[in-house]
Structure formats: structure tokens, C-alpha cells
Amino acid sequence: MPVKVNDGSHSIHNDLYVSYGEQTNASYLDVFKEIFNKSGQQGHYNMMMGIENNHEENVVTTA
């Protein structure tokens, strides 16, 4: 009697290879960054991307 084994979804695309160009990667990263900007989480994005925050814009000066 034949038995069908469920490999799950992980084996479906094992032989699939997709290569994106630099322009596509840059576009995806821009959209990803904008998600954090729109939600007010620029600091978290910068931290996870290894970008140092520019604290000068947050300094309040008094005359």
C-alpha cells in the first residue's frame, strides 16, 4: 500500500533560486525603513540596522 508523506511547506521551494538586483534591495529597504518612520520607531530601526542616532537634533537650547 503506497503511503504519502507530508513534507510540510519547507520542501516545496527547495530548488527555487531568486536573485534580486541592488535596486530592488534598496527599494525594499526604503519601504522597510518607512514603516518604522511612520510608526515613530526610528530609534529601534537605527539600533537594529547599526546606525548611530544623531542626538544633536534632540538637544534643546535655551538663550
Task: Give residue limits of the domains in the chain.
Answer: 21-53
Quick one: pLDDT at residue 46? 93
Query: Are the C-beta atoms of residues 36 and 44 closer than 8 Å to each other?
Result: yes
Quick one: pLDDT at residue 38? 96
Query: Are the C-beta atoms of residues 40 and 28 closer than 8 Å to each other?
Result: no
What's the rounded mean pLDDT across residues 12-32? 82
Whole-model pTM? 0.51
Quick one: pLDDT at residue 52? 84
pLDDT, tens digit, 9 for 90 and up, residues 24-58: 889 999 999 999 999 999 999 999 999 886 654 44
pLDDT, tens digit, 9 for 90 and up, residues 54-63: 654 444 455 5
Q: Residue 36: exposed, middle, or buried by beta-carbon count in 10 A (0-12, 13-18, 19+)?
A: middle
30: left (phi over 0), alpha (psi -120 to 50) or beta: alpha
